[in-house]
Amino acid sequence: MDDNSFFVTTPIYYVNDSPHIGHAYTSIACDVIARFNRLNGKKTMFLTGTDEHGLKIEQAAKKKAMNTKEFVDEMSLDFKKLTKTLNLTNDFFVRTTENFHKKASQHIWKILKKNDEIYLDKYKGWYSVSDEAYFNDDEITTDKKTKKKFAPSGNEVQWVEEESYFFKLSKWQDKLLDFYKKNPNFIGPDSRKNEVVSFVKNGLNDLSISRTTFSWGVEVPDDKKHIMYVWLDALINYLSAIGYPDKKYKEFWPANLHIVGKDIIRFHAIYWPAFLLAAEIEPPKRIFAHGWWTNEGKKISKSLGNVIDPNEIIKKYGLDTLRFFLLKEVPFGNDGDFSKESLQRRINNDLANDLGNLVQRVLTIVNKNLNGQLNKIKEIRDSDKKLYEYPKEILKTIELSYENQEFHKVIESIWKLISEANKYVDENAPWKLLKKDKERAGDVLNILVLIIAKIAIFLSPIMPNTSENILNKIGLSTKKLTMKHINNNSFLNTTFKIKKPEIIFQKIE
């Protein structure tokens, strides 16, 4: 993979249920990263899709009395639709029931077999269908009344005894620890890294990687009785989607970033690099596990009836507002609580007051007083320099924040610029200047329009529609602008006439 390529992925979502705000969160975060990298001139691949095999899906189809294939086709469509609703720029949508994916999975299996990483034995132990995961005795708790057994996730487990192929995970313990040491950025945030390292230090058991008691999965090569463990099949999507085993996958491999929720860090930071190292394929560069959303303080779950449908939030508050809120409200990596009150607070303060007000008042003055006409700036005074140079100053911080997946810091930097611009408007009072010194007033307003254009460029990965809307009002478009324009002060189109702007964010009472 060349240095100018960038590959980011979401987890592939289970199709047992409809998508909700948690799925939207991960997907939006990845989209923002993809858009930022494209804006920065990288050849970017953004992948999302659906995880369609395993007992959980088979059971969900049965519950609806549907044929499993018809069920997954229908459910996968919901997730595909959501990519449009969220304005995602994914380059591909992978489905694990597609043939190319099955072939890639079987190819990896054969390599693992050839490399003596797999053996046949019998699995005896706990399995949680909801988590599609095996658990050790010491991870299980028992409800005293019902005697039911539960995994740490709170999902019920069942006892499983069946013939199974095993992956020799135990032999990878030291190699994984060594790999984490040599690649200190492999897992983020640090708290998750510590958790993973201490789990691996405690010792790893060989991993059961096939099942025989149901058939909804990828067949194990040369042993039709077995299907591949759904997580092995699922993780391979990151390779199959970019063409593996054809050499062309190397255009984007190793992936730069897998963004996942904290619930599935173990699969991505332990099993995945172990499978890859065993198959002699380079592991991805970084896994980032974000936190968990609750709804008004409560765990989001179907049984509690409090699942947040992103479509409803978008209908009521707008897509860009949701994108902004999710990334601003909590530092990426921490848990967050979704409440309408905090969403409304963000709309009224950050969006309507700070951003909306700046754009509205500056463009209105230009429209009313300068005949809507922008001009070349004639003189930059010392008192202009702070604001004029500010975008250049925050550029590095923003790039670094993106590299560390610190979206809230990106937004913080942009809002500092917005606040500087608002301060500059107040201090220079262009409406007064227009009466005394029209030329100076013109310069002040043109500086402000230039800054607004740069704010829109900075904002475009996070709020693409809002950004395009603002840029259109000043005769520009995100389609023609890149991050390079942050250091360019001559891209305003001075023949463009600014029309009377309409309000971009309505306050909510």
Which residues in this chain contact ligand ME8 in the complex, by CB under 6 A? 11-14, 22-23, 25-26, 51, 234-235, 237, 260-261, 263-264, 292-293, 300
Alpha helices for 86-122 (secondary structure H): 99-114
CB of 28 to ligand ME8, least distance (A): 11
Contact 326, 28 (CB under 8 A): yes
Nearer to ligand ME8, 78 or 206 (CB): 78
**Unique residue bearing structure tokens 């707008």:** 318
Cα dihedral 4/103/118/53 (nearest 10): 100
Nearer to ligand ME8, 293 or 424 (CB): 293
Nearer to ligand ME8, 235 or 504 (CB): 235
CB of 261 to ligand ME8, least distance (A): 3
Nearer to ligand ME8, 160 or 300 (CB): 300
CB of 60 to ligand ME8, least distance (A): 12
Nearer to ligand ME8, 228 or 235 (CB): 235
DSSP 3-state assignment of 259? strand
Q: Taking phi first (over 0 means left), then psi (-120 to 50 degrees means alpha), and beta for anything else, what does residue 148 get?
A: beta
Q: Which amino acid is at 401?
A: S
Residue closest to ligand ME8 when measured from CB atoms: 22
461 phi and psi angles, rounded to 5 deg: -65, -35
CA dist list (Å): 107 to 75, 127, 221, 477: 27, 26, 9, 45
What is the C-alpha separation between 111 and 104, in angstroms, rounded? Answer: 11
CB of 143 to ligand ME8, least distance (A): 23
CB of 222 to ligand ME8, least distance (A): 25
CB of 130 to ligand ME8, least distance (A): 9
Contact 106, 219 (CB under 8 A): yes
How many Å separate Cα 415 from the centre of its chain? 21
CB of 37 to ligand ME8, least distance (A): 20
- Going by their DSSP bridges, the two strands 207-208 and 210-211 should be labelled as unpaired
Q: Which of 321, 231, 334, 294 is nearest to 507 (CA)?
A: 321
CB of 287 to ligand ME8, least distance (A): 11
CB of 434 to ligand ME8, least distance (A): 50
Nearer to ligand ME8, 7 or 25 (CB): 25
Nearer to ligand ME8, 90 or 422 (CB): 90
Q: Which two tokens stand for residue 404?
A: 């560390």
CB of 214 to ligand ME8, least distance (A): 17
Nearer to ligand ME8, 285 or 485 (CB): 285
Residue-wise over 102-116: b if at least 16 C-beta within 10 A, else e? bebbbbbbbbbbeee
Nearer to ligand ME8, 160 or 307 (CB): 307
What is the C-alpha separation between 217 and 102, in angstroms, rounded? Answer: 9
Q: Which of 336, 323, 344, 332 is nearest to 295 (CA)?
A: 336
DSSP string, 205-247: --EE-EE-S---SPEETTEEEEEE-HHHHHHTHHHHTTTTTSG
Nearer to ligand ME8, 260 or 377 (CB): 260
CB of 189 to ligand ME8, least distance (A): 15
Contact 19, 320 (CB under 8 A): no
What is the C-alpha separation between 498 and 442, in angstroms, rounded? Answer: 14
Nearer to ligand ME8, 180 or 293 (CB): 293
Nearer to ligand ME8, 24 or 355 (CB): 24
139 CB contacts (<8 Å, ≥6 apart)? Answer: 126, 151, 152
Nearer to ligand ME8, 91 or 223 (CB): 91
CB of 57 to ligand ME8, least distance (A): 9
CB of 23 to ligand ME8, least distance (A): 5
202 CB contacts (<8 Å, ≥6 apart)? Answer: none
What is the C-alpha separation between 292 and 312, in angstroms, rounded? Answer: 20
Expressed in percent and rounded to 5, the helix, strand and coil fractions of the chain are 50, 15, 30
